[in-house]
Chains A and B, each alone.
Chain A
Amino acid sequence: DTGVSQNPRHKITKRGQNVTFRCDPISEHNRLYWYRQTLGQGPEFLTYFQNEAQLEKSRLLSDRFSAERPKGSFSTLEIQRTEQGDSAMYLCASSLGAGADTEAFFGQGTRLTVV
């Protein structure tokens, strides 16, 4: 078990381009979360999956953002027509269920810079 893995670690893109990030959760973890974090702020919730079903989406997740978890394992987060305001760290977390004693494990994040 190597923990939650996120790729790439860093991404620089030009404004208007599309980008896709990948998250590989800890195996058998059925819950997967995406967060966004800007400098000096705590992580902001974006969306989460229970297996392959996307159960909740934040208002922060505009129409340009889409997340998938097709087979209930890895997940992708795509941002279309990137804007400078999308520059942030994108964090993925996974957990085995969502009970009180459930610990969410976070990846190292993907740092996106839109120039």
Chain B
Amino acid sequence: DAKTTQPTSMDCAEGRAANLPCNHSTISGNEYVYWYRQIHSQGPQYIIHGLKNNETNEMASLIITEDRKSSTLILPHATLRDTAVYYCIVRVVGNDMRFGAGTRLTVKP
């Protein structure tokens, strides 16, 4: 599976949009982009995934660039409870999830 690069940490003001970038420049055509998050002392939680189209669900939006070499996870109105480590994962269907170090997002009042 392709490697991903994420910033180590980010801050966001409560109520504002949180935009978390991920670089996956070596992604191949059959690899999907997944986002999970891990709130302190809990197991990771699925957020969203996509192949090449932008995706939106009740939690977040996923914007994938046309060349698929990077993506952005958008939390439209961040709350204090969104403080967590966010993982961007590139995965071939059928394979397991391989996590990197992720981005530690801190939402501040």
Contacts of B68 in A (CB 8 A): none
**Given known A-B contacts A33-B96, A44-B99, A45-B97, A100 and B43 have beta carbons under 8 A apart:** no
**Given known A-B contacts A41-B101, A100-B93, A106 and B49 have beta carbons under 8 A apart:** no
Q: Chain B: interface secondary structure?
A: loop
Closest chain A CB from B101 CB (angstroms): 5
Say which residue of A42, A100, A109 sits within 8 Å of B51 (CB atoms): A100
- Is B21 an interface residue when CB atoms closer than 8 A count as contact? no
- In Å, the complex CA distance between A44 and B51 comes to 23
Contacts of A33 in B (CB 8 A): 96-97
- Chain A residue nearest to B101 (CB atoms) is A42
Interface residue count on the B side (C-beta < 8 Å)? 21
Contacts of B44 in A (CB 8 A): 43, 91, 93, 104, 106
Bitwise, A98-115 to B at CB < 8 A (1) or not (0) is 111101111111000000
Closest chain B CB from A92 CB (angstroms): 8
Taking residues whose C-beta sits less than 8 angstroms from the other chain, chain A's interface range is 20 to 34
Q: Interface residues, chain A, CB within 8 Å of chain B?
A: 4, 33, 35, 40-45, 48, 56, 91, 93, 98-101, 103-109
The 6 A-B residue pairs whose C-beta atoms are closest, nearest first, are A106-B43, A42-B99, A103-B46, A98-B94, A43-B99, A100-B93
Q: Write 30 A-B pairs (CB below 8 A) sorted by A numbering.
A: A4-B43, A33-B96, A33-B97, A35-B99, A40-B101, A41-B101, A42-B85, A42-B87, A43-B97, A43-B99, A45-B96, A45-B97, A45-B98, A48-B96, A91-B43, A93-B43, A93-B97, A98-B93, A98-B94, A98-B95, A98-B96, A100-B51, A101-B49, A103-B46, A104-B46, A104-B97, A105-B46, A108-B42, A108-B43, A109-B43
